[in-house]
Amino acid sequence: MKGIALPIETLVILVLAIVVLVGVIAFFLGVFNPSTSGIQLEAIKNLACQRFLSLNCEDSDDVKNLDIDLDDDGQTKGDGDTLTLLCKLKYSNIDCRQLCNCP
Share of the chain above pLDDT 70, in %: 73
3-state secondary structure of 70: coil
pLDDT digits (tens, 9 = 90+) for 15-35: 999 999 999 998 888 766 666
Q: How far is CA 51 from CA 8, 32, 95, in A?
A: 63, 32, 16
Q: pTM of the prediction? A: 0.54
Tens of pLDDT along the chain (103 residues)? Answer: 566 667 888 889 999 999 999 999 988 887 666 666 777 778 888 888 888 888 888 877 777 766 665 555 544 445 567 778 778 877 887 888 888 888 7
